C-alpha cells in the first residue's frame, strides 16, 4: 500500500495535531484528509506554513487548557446524584460505571464528558457518596462527588405504641382523707364544747 507524508492542519485524535508531519496511506490522504482540509501534502512550499500552523496549535491548546481548568473548578462544586434499584439488603442491581456518570452529568447539568475522562478503578456497587477522579486534559485533573441513592421507597416506620394512662385516683383519696380528718376534728371539737355544759349541769344539781 502506497504511503505519503502530510502536514496536519487540524487536531486529529490518534494521528496528531496541527503542524505535525505524519505518514499515512495515500488513499486515506487523498480521499479523506485533503478534501476535508485536515492535512496538506508535505512539500517545500507547504513547509513554509509550518510556523503559522504551530501558532494556531499553541492558541488552540491554550484555549482548551483554560476551558478545562474552569470546568474542573465548576465540577468540583457539584454533586451528581445517581438513582439505582436495590434489593432489600441495599445491594445494587448491577453497578455504576463511568458511562453511567457521564450520562447523569449530561442530563442533570448539561455537561458533556467522554466516559474516558471519568476515571473509576472499578464500578461502584454500593450506595453512598464517592469522590471520582476526572482526567479532563493531559495537564488538568479534577474531582466530582457522586452520590448513589436507592430508588426503592423507604420502609414504613411503625409509630411507637402510646402507653395507656391510668386514672389519677390519688387526689380523690387525699380529698377523702382530708374530709375524714375534718369530720374527726369537728367531732372532737363538739365533744370538747359539750364537756363544760355537762359539768355545769352537774354543779347545778349539787347546789
For residue 176, name the pLDDT band (cuts at 50, 70, 90): low
Residue in the block written with cell 439505582 = 84
In the structure grid, which three cell numbers stand for residue 104, read together?
Answer: 447523569
Which domains does the chain carry? 3-48 (3.40.5.10), 73-150 (3.10.430.100)
CA separation for the pair 94, 84 (Å, rounded):
9
3-state secondary structure of 185: helix
Tell me, what's the pLDDT at 154? 63
Of residues 181 and 42, more confidently modeled: 42
Least Cα distance to 146 among 78, 73, 72 occurs for 78
Are the beta carbons of 1 and 47 closer than 8 angstroms? no
The per-residue pLDDT for range 71-111, each reduced to its tens digit, is 999 999 999 999 999 887 778 888 999 999 999 999 999 99
CA separation for the pair 86, 90 (Å, rounded):
5
CA separation for the pair 141, 27 (Å, rounded):
38
3-state secondary structure of 190: helix
Is the predicted pLDDT of residue 169 greater than 80, yes or no? Answer: no
CA within 13 Å, CB half, 42: 14
Task: Report the chain's mean pLDDT, rounded to a whole number.
Answer: 83
Tell me, what's the pLDDT at 13? 87
Q: What is the DSSP letter of 33?
A: I
pTM: 0.61
Amino acid at each position: 500500500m502506497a504511503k505519503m507524508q502530510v502536514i496536519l492542519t487540524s487536531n486529529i485524535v490518534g494521528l496528531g495535531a496541527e503542524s505535525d508531519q505524519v505518514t499515512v496511506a495515500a488513499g486515506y490522504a487523498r480521499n479523506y484528509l485533503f478534501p476535508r482540509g485536515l492535512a496538506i501534502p508535505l512539500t517545500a512550499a507547504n513547509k513554509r506554513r509550518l510556523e503559522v500552523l504551530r501558532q494556531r496549535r499553541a492558541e488552540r491548546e491554550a484555549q482548551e487548557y483554560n476551558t478545562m481548568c474552569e470546568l474542573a473548578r465548576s465540577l468540583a462544586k457539584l454533586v451528581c446524584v445517581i438513582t439505582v434499584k436495590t434489593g432489600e439488603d441495599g445491594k445494587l442491581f448491577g453497578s455504576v460505571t463511568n458511562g453511567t456518570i457521564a450520562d447523569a452529568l449530561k442530563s442533570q447539568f448539561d455537561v458533556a464528558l467522554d466516559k474516558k475522562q471519568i476515571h473509576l478503578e472499578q464500578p461502584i456497587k454500593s450506595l453512598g457518596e464517592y469522590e471520582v477522579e476526572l482526567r479532563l486534559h493531559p495537564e488538568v485533573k479534577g474531582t466530582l462527588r457522586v452520590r448513589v441513592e436507592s430508588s426503592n421507597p423507604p420502609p414504613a416506620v411503625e409509630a411507637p405504641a402510646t402507653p395507656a394512662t391510668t386514672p389519677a385516683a390519688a387526689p380523690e383519696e387525699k380529698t377523702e382523707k382530708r374530709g375524714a380528718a375534718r369530720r374527726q376534728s369537728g367531732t372532737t371539737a363538739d365533744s370538747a364544747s359539750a364537756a363544760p355544759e355537762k359539768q355545769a349541769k352537774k354543779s347545778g344539781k349539787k347546789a
